[in-house]
C-alpha cells in the first residue's frame, strides 16, 4: 500500500457491529450506576439524570476525541487501517466508587447530596492518580511479559464479561438465545446476514422484539427531557475538602486507581497484540484527564480504555464505532433517553454481545502469546475466579438478609469461616486472592512467563515487588496499611530469594535442560540461558 496515498476513513460499514457491542457495554454500566444511585443511595432524579449522566457523557466525549485522533495518527503513520481504542466508564472501578466511597458516606450521613459531592471529589482526585500512571506505565509495559498483562484481562473477561452475561441469557432463554444465535452466526462464525446487516444490531433487535412480544419490554417516555451539562465547581470543592478531612477514604482511592492505570496499560497491550500500537503513557493521561473532566461536570466514575479491542479489531472497525457510542451516549444523557432504553432493551438481549467480547479476547490472547506462555495466562486467570466467588458470596449473604433471615454471621466471622472450610470452601484463601486480583494475576502471570523463559532475575524482581505491595495492602488486603511481614509477604520473599540466588549456584546443565513431563506437549525451548 502506498503510504503517501493512504487516507484513513473514520467510518466504515464494520463500525456498525462494533458500535452495538461497545454501546451495550457502556449502556449496561450507565443503567447499573443510575439504578444503584437512585434506588440504593436514594439520590433524587435531579442528581442522577441532570448531573451524573451528563457528566459521564462529557467524560466519554472528551476521551473519544483523543482516541479518535490517536487512531488517525497511527493509521497514517502505518499506512493502513487501525481500530480505535474502546473507551468508557471502568466497570470494576465503578463498583468500588459506588460501594467503597459513595455508599459509606450515604449510610453514615443519610445525605445523598453529600455522598454525590464526595463522589465527584474522589473522582477528581482519583483522576490525578490515574494520570500519574503515565510516569511508570511505559516502563512497566517494557518489562512485563505479554502473557501476564493479557492473562489477567482474560480472567476479568472470563468471569465478569462472559460468565455473568451468559447466566443472564439462561435466565431469559427465549430472549437470550434468539440474540445469542445471531452473535454466534455473524460475529463468531463470521457468516453474512441478509443485506449484510450488522450482527450486533440484529441480535439486540431480535431479543428486544421477542421481549416486547412476551411483555418483558416496555416503552416509557416519562424520563425524557433536556439535561444540560454544567460544571459543579462548588460541589467539587466541597467533596475534595471532605476527603482531606477524612483521609481514610484515600485508602480506597489510591489502590483502585493504581488498578485503573494498570488496566489501561493491559488493554493497550491487548490492542498491540491485535496489531494496533498506541502510546500507553498518553492513554493513561487521557483516562485520568477524562475522569477529572467528568468529575467537574458531575460524574464520580472513572473512565478507562476498555477491554475488548481485539474483538472490535476482528470486526474490522475503524474509529466510527467509538465516535458513534460517544454521540449516542451523550444524546441519551442530555435528553433523558437512558430511562427509555432501560425499559426497551432487556439485559438478556444485550448480554450475548458481551459474551462475544469475552470469547474474542481470550481467543486473541491464545494467538498473541507463544504456546509455552499459555501456562502463564492460565495462572493469571485464577485470582479473578476467587474475586468472582467473593462477590457472589457477599451477594448471597445480602440476599439472605433481604429475605428476612435473622442472626446471620458476617462473612469473615471465625465460626462461619471454619464451617466453610469444613465444606471445602476456602474463604480466607479466596479473600486474599480477590483483593487486588488484576495486579495479582499480572504479577503471577509475569513470574510464570519469566520462569518459563529462564529470566530468573526478572521473575524474582516481580516476586519482590509483590512482597512490597502485599506488605502495604495494595494486594491481598482491603485497605492500605503500614508495612508488615505476614505469611503472604514472607511467601513472596521466599520465591523472590530463590529465583534470584539459586540460579547463581545451580549447575548449568540443570538450567539448560528441561524435564520431560509425561502426557504433556513439549512446547518449551530446548535450551534457555540463565539470566
- pLDDT for the residue 4: 56
Q: Which helix (H) or strand (E) holds 69?
A: helix 53-78
Q: Which of 381, 387, 523, 525 is nearest to 445 (CA)?
A: 381
What does 443-482 look like in DSSP terms, one character per residue?
Answer: HHHHHHHHHHTT-HHHHHHHHHHHHHHHHHTSSSSSS--S
Residue 48 phi/psi, 5-degree rounding, is -65, -50
Grouping H, G, I as helix, E, B as strand and the rest as coil, residue 76 is: helix
What's the rounded Cα separation, in Å, for the pair 167 and 186?
Answer: 21
Q: Which grid coordinates are listed for 364? A: 486473541
- The pLDDT assigned to 207 comes to 93
Give this prediction's pTM.
0.72
pLDDT tens digits for 328-366? 999 999 998 877 876 788 888 888 887 887 888 788 788
The residue to which cell 532475575 is assigned: 457
Q: What are the contacts of 222-225 at 24+ separation with CB within 8 A?
A: 222/339, 223/45, 223/49, 223/336, 223/338, 223/339, 223/340, 224/335, 224/336, 224/337, 224/339, 224/340, 225/49, 225/335, 225/336
- Angle among Cα 514, 518, 522 to the nearest 5 degrees reads 50
- d(Cα 425, Cα 418) in Å, to the nearest integer? 9
* 365-376 per-residue burial string, b: 16 or more CB within 10 A, e: under 16: beebbeebbbbb
Q: Supply the DSSP symbol for 134.
A: G
Question: Which residues of the chain have a pLDDT value below 50?
Answer: 1, 3, 527-530
Q: Please give the Cα distance from 137 to 134 (Å, whole number).
A: 5
Distance in angstroms (rounded) separating the CA atoms of residues 474 and 495: 19
Helices within 336-373 (DSSP H only): 337-344, 347-368
- Give CA–CA dist 405/428, Å, rounded: 24
Whose grid coordinates read 495494595? Answer: 474
Q: What is the DSSP letter of 193?
A: P
479 is written with which cell numbers?
485497605
Nearest to 398 by CA among 416, 411, 385: 411
Q: What is the pLDDT of residue 269?
A: 83
The pLDDT of residue 256: 64
Write out the three cell numbers for 440: 495479582
Q: What is the distance between the alpha carbons of residues 257 and 265, in angstroms, rounded to a whole number?
A: 12
Q: What confidence score (pLDDT) does residue 529 get?
A: 47
Helix (H, G, I), strand (E, B) or coil at 305: strand
Decide if 372 contacts 523 (C-beta within 8 A).
Answer: yes
Residues 379-424 pLDDT 10s: 999 999 998 898 888 888 888 888 888 888 988 889 999 999 999 9
CA pseudo-torsion sign 357, 359, 362, 365: negative
* Residue whose C-alpha cell is 454525590: 116
Determine if residue 498 is left, alpha or beta; phi over 0 gives left, psi from -120 to 50 gives alpha, anything else beta.
alpha
C-alpha cell at 189: 462464525
Separation CA 384–CA 74 (nearest Å): 33
What was the pLDDT predicted at 518?
A: 67
The three grid cell numbers given for residue 302, joined into one nine-digit string: 472513572
* pLDDT on residue 530: 47
SS3 44: coil
Q: Which three cell numbers stand for residue 348?
A: 438478556
What are the phi and psi torsion angles at 318 (to 5°)?
-105, -120
The answer to whether 439 and 259 have CB atoms below 8 angstroms apart is yes
User: In this structure, what C-alpha cell is assigned to residue 156?
Assistant: 476479568
CA–CA distances in Å: residue 136 to residues 87, 131, 260, 311: 21, 10, 13, 27
Amino acid at each position: 500500500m502506498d503510504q503517501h496515498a493512504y487516507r484513513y476513513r473514520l467510518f466504515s460499514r464494520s463500525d456498525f457491529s462494533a458500535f452495538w457491542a461497545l454501546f451495550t457495554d457502556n449502556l449496561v454500566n450507565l443503567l447499573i450506576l443510575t439504578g444503584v444511585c437512585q434506588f440504593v443511595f436514594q439520590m433524587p432524579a435531579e442528581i442522577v439524570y441532570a448531573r451524573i449522566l451528563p457528566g459521564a457523557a462529557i467524560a466519554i466525549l472528551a476521551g473519544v476525541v483523543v482516541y479518535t485522533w490517536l487512531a488517525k495518527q497511527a493509521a497514517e503513520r502505518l499506512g493502513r487501517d487501525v481500530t480505535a481504542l474502546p473507551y468508557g466508564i471502568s466497570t470494576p472501578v465503578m463498583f468500588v466508587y459506588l460501594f467503597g466511597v459513595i455508599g459509606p458516606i450515604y449510610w453514615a450521613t443519610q445525605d445523598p447530596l453529600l455522598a454525590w459531592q464526595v463522589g465527584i471529589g474522589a473522582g477528581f482526585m482519583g483522576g490525578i492518580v490515574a494520570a500519574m500512571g503515565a510516569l511508570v506505565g511505559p516502563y512497566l509495559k517494557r518489562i512485563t511479559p505479554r502473557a501476564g498483562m493479557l492473562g489477567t484481562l482474560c480472567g476479568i473477561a472470563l468471569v465478569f464479561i462472559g460468565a455473568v452475561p451468559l447466566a443472564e441469557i439462561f435466565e431469559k432463554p427465549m430472549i437470550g438465545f434468539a440474540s445469542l444465535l445471531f452473535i454466534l452466526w455473524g460475529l463468531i462464525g463470521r457468516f453474512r446476514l441478509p443485506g449484510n446487516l450488522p450482527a450486533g444490531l440484529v441480535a439486540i433487535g431480535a431479543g428486544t422484539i421477542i421481549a416486547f412480544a412476551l411483555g418483558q419490554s416496555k416503552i416509557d417516555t416519562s424520563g425524557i427531557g433536556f439535561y444540560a451539562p454544567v460544571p459543579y465547581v462548588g460541589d467539587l470543592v466541597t467533596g475534595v475538602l471532605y476527603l482531606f478531612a477524612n483521609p481514610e477514604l484515600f485508602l480506597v482511592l489510591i489502590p483502585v486507581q493504581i488498578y485503573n492505570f494498570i488496566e489501561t496499560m493491559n488493554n493497550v497491550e491487548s490492542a498491540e497484540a491485535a496489531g494496533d500500537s498506541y502510546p500507553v503513557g498518553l492513554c493513561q493521561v487521557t483516562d485520568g484527564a477524562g475522569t477529572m473532566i467528568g468529575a467537574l461536570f458531575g460524574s464520580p466514575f472513572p473512565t478507562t480504555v476498555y477491554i475488548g479491542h481485539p474483538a472490535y479489531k476482528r470486526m474490522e472497525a475503524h474509529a466510527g464505532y467509538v465516535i458513534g457510542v460517544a454521540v449516542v451516549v451523550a444524546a441519551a444523557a442530555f435528553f433523558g433517553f437512558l430511562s427509555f432504553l432501560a425499559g426497551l432493551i432487556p439485559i438478556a438481549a444485550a448480554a450475548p454481545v458481551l459474551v462475544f467480547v469475552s470469547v474474542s479476547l481470550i481467543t486473541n490472547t491464545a494467538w498473541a502469546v507463544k504456546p509455552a506462555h499459555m501456562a502463564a495466562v492460565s495462572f493469571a486467570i485464577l485470582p479473578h475466579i476467587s474475586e468472582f466467588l467473593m462477590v457472589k458470596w457477599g451477594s448471597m449473604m445480602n440476599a439472605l438478609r433481604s429475605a428476612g433471615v435473622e442472626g446471620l454471621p458476617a462473612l469473615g466471622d471465625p465460626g462461619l469461616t471454619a464451617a466453610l472450610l469444613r465444606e471445602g470452601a476456602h474463604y480466607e484463601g479466596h479473600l486474599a486472592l480477590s483483593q487486588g486480583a488484576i495486579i495479582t494475576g499480572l504479577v503471577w502471570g509475569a513470574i510464570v512467563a519469566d520462569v518459563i523463559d529462564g529470566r530468573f532475575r526478572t521473575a524474582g524482581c516481580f516476586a519482590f515487588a509483590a512482597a512490597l505491595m502485599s506488605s502495604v495492602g495494595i494486594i491481598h488486603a482491603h485497605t492500605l496499611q503500614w508495612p508488615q511481614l505476614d505469611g503472604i509477604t514472607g511467601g513472596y520473599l521466599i520465591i523472590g530469594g530463590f529465583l534470584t540466588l539459586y540460579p547463581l549456584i545451580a549447575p548449568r546443565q540443570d538450567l539448560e535442560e528441561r524435564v520431560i513431563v509425561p502426557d504433556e506437549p513439549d512446547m518449551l525451548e530446548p535450551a534457555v540461558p540463565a539470566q
